[in-house]
Structure 1
Amino acid sequence: MKNPIDASLSRRQFIGALGTSTALTVLPGCATGTIASTTPAAGEAAGQALLDDFAWNLLRHEPLRASSLGVDTGEYAYLRSQLGDASQAGQDAKAATLAADLERARAFPKGGLDPATRTSFEVVESAYETALEGLALPYGDIPVGSWRTAPYPVIQNVGAYIDLPRALDSDHPIRDEADAEAYIARLEEIPGVLQGELERMRAGREMGVVPPDFLLDRALDQMQRQLTDAMQGGSLVESLVRRTAEEGIAGSWQERANAIVTTDVAVALERQLAELRLQRGMAGSAPGMDAQPEGGEWYRWSLKSSTTTNMSPAEIHQLGMDTLADIHSEMDPILRDLGYTEGNPGQRMIQLSQDDRFKFAEGDEGRAQIISFLEDRIEWIRGEMPRAFARVVDPAVQVKRIPPNEELGAPTAYGGAPAVDGSRPGTFWINLRDTDLHRTYDLVTLTHHEAIPGHVWEGEYSNQLPLIRAILAFNAFSEGWALYAEQLGDELGAYSDNPAWRLGYHQAAAYRAIRLVVDTGLHAQGWGRQQAIDYFHTNSGVGVAETTNEIDRYCSWPGQATGYMVGKLEILRQREMARTSLGRRYDLRNFNMAVVEGGNAPLDVLAANVARYVRSAGD
């Protein structure tokens, strides 16, 4: 076995050298010099050109993100045939590009830039600095302008075996024969992606990084399902066959796709499955990063990445406990009015959840009811947006079920913005493996979080910024905004005529406060898995099955869940500062515009944007 300290130092020395080298590596064909400017207009144009260069440099490493944004067209259509390099060499090449572009961003003269362009440079510098710090860690799947901090490259909710079937079906367009050929080309790249991940799985194991047994059990079950699916052709083939038939694109698509998926893809999945079984034989039950080599440092970085702050685990833990107490005090009188008086608010919510008035039918009938309910609530909140925003957008939103073979390890729901070019609507993905996961009172708030005015709505504004800003997302802003969107729903009257729905809103807020407590408890305070499950269940009123799924998510994405409440509280703090400073000149619609038009940003950049709004509104 390799010495884990030697492996760590070797990788850190390599990444560190990238930040100081005078012969920095970038991708072929990319400009590397600082663009000089002599006039404000020329400087602004040069700055925009450099930001676009950064965007395409990053997308060359992550071609699927170009497809999800809908920008893999024209001269960049070649990206539609690629998946990227998931090996350690691919990670190192991405780090080299980030380091080179970070140096260019720092060196660019910013004196003549308008505030929006200056903000974009600040965002790039923050994102790249944090990502490079993460890439210097000895292991892990490190996000660049994304939200998933994952120490294990393949586990129950991380890895190409989960990501690629969904992404190819939802993000890869098939409008003509060239698109279908590009899909085939991507299928041919899947075995290489899986092999690259396998190399990093093995390298982590050699350092002593082995996921806990309960995560491996979930991953083994899910990967076996995906392997069985692949051996039968399954979803990867079906997506291509169905969509080419819908578009009338002739070709032997099923035969060609089957030949790849049932052989090379299946063999690569079998290799990963064998590695997971090997690791399962070595695994212990300790859930947190404090049980992994250099886990304390890894967790410190993951909190920084997820919150864009330098808050310590202890500070976040206490913030969660204090915030939860405040939320429970809001829930108590409503529960009493409904006749629920025994136990803490979380325990009383468990009683409320058994009320048949708030349940959906079982099976497909209930699934249809849930989707219809969500669609109705989306249209109601869409009509209220002029009251909350000075400039409204009108994003298309589709409600879709998370694919059944992914549901076991997937969250309750998640949302994604429309494609930049408008070719694909925003999507509200809902987990329907069991209709008992949902109640009417929790789906209302979920609509505001995932769709409008949450992720889909905010993403529509971000899509109007330079491409690099649509790529770079910060967990504390993305999820903080989505929680703030839940509160906007309340302020706009979403729950005025339905006390139970208001309880669902408060329960969702308590849910996110509890995350601060259990995430830090698991990874920095020695909590066991069952201790975290019990605390979450008792204080949230959420069922044990969903609670268990959530706790396992925090074990595989350390720190990620802390960004939600930290971000929301900062947006509210900025709102109160603006209201106090502006007095009668304060307008909620203009404040919200300052936040969303400033784009997805670290919290300190958000504060600077709000300060500029306050100054301009006060003139």
Structure 2
Amino acid sequence: MRRRDLLVGAAALGMASPLAACATGAASTVSPGATMGAAMGGGADDARLAAMLERHAQALRAEEGGGDRLADYSLAARARHGQATAQRLAELGAVNRAALSAAAALDYDTARFVYEAMADQYGRYGFSDINLRPSPYVVSQMNGAYYWLPDGIGGRSPMKDAADADRYLDKLNQFAVALDQETEQIGHDAGLGVVPPDFILAKTLAQIAALRDSSPTGNALTAPALERAHEAGIAGLDTRAAAIFVERIRPALQRQSEALAALQPRADARAGVWAKPDGEAYYASALHSNTTASYAPGELHQLGLSWVAELSAEIDRLLRAEGLTQGEVGARMAALDRDPRFLKPDTEAGRQEIIDYANQRLNRVKGLLSRGFTVTPDRPVEVRRVSPAIQNGAPGGFYSASSDPAQPSIIYINLRSVEENALWRIPTLLHHEGVPGHHFQDSVLREAGELSLFRRTVRFSAWTEGWALYAEQLADEIGAYEGDPVGRIGYLQGQLFRACRVVVDTGIHHARWTREQAIDWMVTHAGEHRDAAEREIDRYCVYPGQACSFMVGKQQIAASREEARRRLGARFDLRRYNDFVLASGPLPMDVLAAAVRLT
């Protein structure tokens, strides 16, 4: 199924709906490789827009770094990115949207959303980029070069010959530069009054110290690469890598640590960005860019409360069917975490059993994909544990896509606590991060050959995370929990957890909840362990609004599906709808809804 076949609107073509045509197996009239504009008769205006966005995408990718070069993290680079964004927005404004085809207008609207959000964020403090997932703090327990780059540099740098070894060493040197560039911005933002909460500083300093004080050849930056170098017969790399770590990286980490430690006397426990300069406007901007929807913080807070109530009622019914009738829903779910049926030993062997179980469940859902899709790419993926070096600040699980076809993508599970990974919780994590969630989503996009470079470059948390949460529901719908009623409680707990995220994120940053208030609310209503809830709340503190993107995106995808079902009636095909959402590529939620209505 080609993306453009799906996005061509019935009104523009004067023909049957593409979704209806897909449902009946009718062939598309759009030829492979044709642009959407050409397919719809958009003409020169469409072509000019497509060329402009192609040029913009190339520039955006260059700004992010890639290949042998890391991104530029300096204040000067941030200023350049802001100026470039303003220029792109001005170029887009010169396009006559009314002259575009319906499909090209979707690309126009997508680009305008991106550039307006980026322009706003580059005018503020903190960290921002093409992901539209801003953080008021350049470095935190979940952000910064020390957090994001070691695994990629040490674990994914090619290591086949001496030339690869030299490129790897160059990246180590670049890593030291990136650290100092961030340290410069820490000082700059502190001068504006931007100081992370005291509990964020404490966690961040501990994690930086762990890398700084590690063995020069035994950390995430070096150990995996050196092991591959040894296997490839590359001699002498240990000594050269250790020298760079000791002489350049460790001092840069120390300078960053000192810059953050100097902020501690000014830090307090206020968790929300509301307490920072122009904080309420910062949150409104972050919420909009993350959800790609127009919700006021207070309105979204009330919606979150209603979603929590609905899901809690359904889980209560299922728990009662399992004989768990006493106490709050959260407490009864927590009781499942202590059930010996779902626990592995708190040992390294027990942790490996969890990983083995996860890989088995991942393979199980792969066999069900034909019930939910007609297009099922098969790219390798496996489950591994989060590195112990960062597990205290890391989320419960996350996905890391491989850029090398020869290497599998990874679903990471945080095994800091075995009890937090009771087996009834594992499948829905895999469906979210892996199949049919993020890994499947990434795989479809990689094989969508007609998706433009611009559409491959832009990213939206609501589309990405909304799909992954929708994928949890879809896994249930295609039979992933047949014969596993407790696993289905796990799926609903995952949905409840994301609804609770909406409540606590808006609570922290809008309603001015304290950190403890938010943690207590999450423990009580989501059935989360306190340690896990603490890590989650601290994540929301440094990424305002991002936690809301999951549920808002999922609700929009599901609502658009039901709208299409009502409109198409018996012609509606669930598999074709799911193909459509993925093949459409990343879109703001309002633009996705418009695309569905065009079909």
3-state SS in 2 of match to 1:408:
coil
Q: Which residue in the other structure is 1:5 paired with?
A: none
Q: Counterparts in 2 of 1:576-615, with a 5 A limit? A: 576-613=562-599
Normalised to the residue count of structure 1, the TM-score between the two structures is 0.86
Change (3 A) 1:390 1:52: same
- The residue identity in structure 2 corresponding to 1:457 is F
3-state SS in 2 of match to 1:414:
strand
User: In the alignment, is the contact (CA less than 8 A) between 1:397 and 1:456 conserved in 2?
Assistant: yes
Structure 1 residue 394, shift from structure 2 partner: 1.5
User: In the alignment, is the contact (CA less than 8 A) between 2:75 and 2:181 conserved in 1?
Assistant: yes
Q: Counterparts in 2 of 1:93-112, with a 5 A limit? A: 93-107=80-94
- Name stretches of at least 5 consecutive residues in structure 2 with no aligned partner: 1-40
Q: Counterparts in 2 of 1:128-147, with a 5 A limit? A: 128-137=115-124, 139-144=125-130, 146=131
Indicate whether 1:165 and 2:150 are aligned. Answer: yes
Indicate whether 1:273 and 2:257 are aligned. Answer: yes
Indicate whether 1:450 and 2:452 are aligned. Answer: no
Q: Measure the CA separation in 1 of the matches of 2:355 and 2:506.
A: 34
3-state SS in 1 of match to 2:245:
helix
3-state SS in 2 of match to 1:229:
coil
The C-alpha deviation readout for 1:417-450, integer Å capped at 9, x for no partner, is 443x734433211112232220111111111100
Structure 1 residue 309, shift from structure 2 partner: 1.5
- Name stretches of at least 5 consecutive residues in structure 1 with no aligned partner: 1-38, 67-79, 614-619
Q: Counterparts in 2 of 1:70-109, with a 5 A limit? A: 80-107=67-94
Q: Measure the CA separation in 1 of the matches of 2:121 and 2:80.
A: 14
User: In the alignment, is the contact (CA less than 8 A) between 1:223 and 1:269 conserved in 2?
Assistant: yes
Q: Measure the CA separation in 1 of the matches of 2:42 and 2:462.
A: 33
Q: Which residue in the other structure is 1:498 paired with?
A: 484
C-alpha RMSD of matched pairs (Å) = 2.1
Structure 1 residue 114, shift from structure 2 partner: 7.2
- The residue identity in structure 2 corresponding to 1:368 is Q
User: In the alignment, is the contact (CA less than 8 A) between 1:532 and 1:551 conserved in 2?
Assistant: yes
Structure 1 residue 503, shift from structure 2 partner: 0.7
Q: Measure the CA separation in 2 of the matches of 1:262 and 1:56.
A: 36
Q: Counterparts in 2 of 1:104-503, with a 5 A limit? A: 104-107=91-94, 119-137=106-124, 139-144=125-130, 146=131, 148-229=133-214, 234-248=219-233, 250-419=234-403, 422-463=405-446, 464=448, 465-503=451-489
Q: Which residue in the other structure is 1:12 paired with?
A: none
Change (3 A) 1:417 1:125: farther
Change (3 A) 1:472 1:228: same
Change (3 A) 1:147 1:103: closer
User: In the alignment, is the contact (CA less than 8 A) between 2:117 and 2:132 conserved in 1?
Assistant: no
User: In the alignment, is the contact (CA less than 8 A) between 2:155 and 2:225 conserved in 1?
Assistant: no
Q: Measure the CA separation in 2 of the matches of 1:553 and 1:239.
A: 27
Change (3 A) 1:575 1:221: same
Q: Measure the CA separation in 2 of the matches of 1:358 and 1:133.
A: 47
User: In the alignment, is the contact (CA less than 8 A) between 1:81 and 1:186 conserved in 2?
Assistant: yes
Structure 1 residue 118, shift from structure 2 partner: 5.2
- The residue identity in structure 1 corresponding to 2:278 is E
- The residue identity in structure 1 corresponding to 2:206 is D
Q: Which has the higher contact order (CA 8 A, sep 6+)?
A: 2
Q: Which residue in the other structure is 2:61 paired with?
A: 59
3-state SS in 2 of match to 1:368:
helix
Q: Measure the CA separation in 2 of the matches of 1:389 and 1:106.
A: 38
Q: Which residue in the other structure is 1:569 paired with?
A: 555
- The residue identity in structure 1 corresponding to 2:597 is A
Q: Measure the CA separation in 2 of the matches of 1:246 and 1:100.
A: 48
Q: Measure the CA separation in 2 of the matches of 1:205 and 1:508.
A: 37
Structure 1 residue 333, shift from structure 2 partner: 1.4
Aligned residues: 556
Indicate whether 1:536 and 2:522 are aligned. Answer: yes
Structure 1 residue 187, shift from structure 2 partner: 1.2
Mean Cα deviation higher: 179-188 or 260-269: 179-188
Q: Measure the CA separation in 1 of the matches of 2:295 and 2:565.
A: 26
Change (3 A) 1:284 1:118: same
Q: Which residue in the other structure is 2:496 paired with?
A: 510
Structure 1 residue 231, shift from structure 2 partner: 5.1
Change (3 A) 1:352 1:99: same
Normalised to the residue count of structure 2, the TM-score between the two structures is 0.88
Q: Measure the CA separation in 2 of the matches of 1:116 and 1:423.
A: 35
